[in-house]
Amino acid sequence: MILRFATALEITTDDMLQPSARKPARKPSRRVLRRLELIESLPPTQQTALLRTIDAVLLGVAGRR
């Protein structure tokens, strides 16, 4: 029975029986995963250009914090 609960909650049985104080890792959203799949389907040169653009935006956001 505990295995079914753990599977449904997408956690291990150890986590159910011995919960710790640490936060569970966040999963990427479906939107993000779908976009990553689309990026992977692009030709390598377009992937590189797009990833450089994303890196630049993220660097700019990180600099504002």
Half-sphere exposure of 35 (CA within 13 A, CB side): 8
Tell whether 10 is covered by a domain.
Answer: no
Task: List the domain range (segments joined by +) for residue 48.
Answer: 29-65
Tell whether 6 is covered by a domain.
Answer: no
Tell whether 46 is covered by a domain.
Answer: yes
Q: What pLDDT digit, counting tens, does each position of 31-46 carry? A: 999 999 999 999 999 9
CB 16 within 8 A of CB 6: yes
pLDDT of residue 38: 95
Measured distance CA(11)–CA(18) in Å, rounded: 12
Q: How large a percentage of the chain has pLDDT more than 90?
A: 45
Q: Where are the alpha helices (DSSP H) in 1-65?
A: 2-9, 13-17, 30-40, 44-64
- The pLDDT-based confidence of 23 (bands split at 50, 70, 90) is low
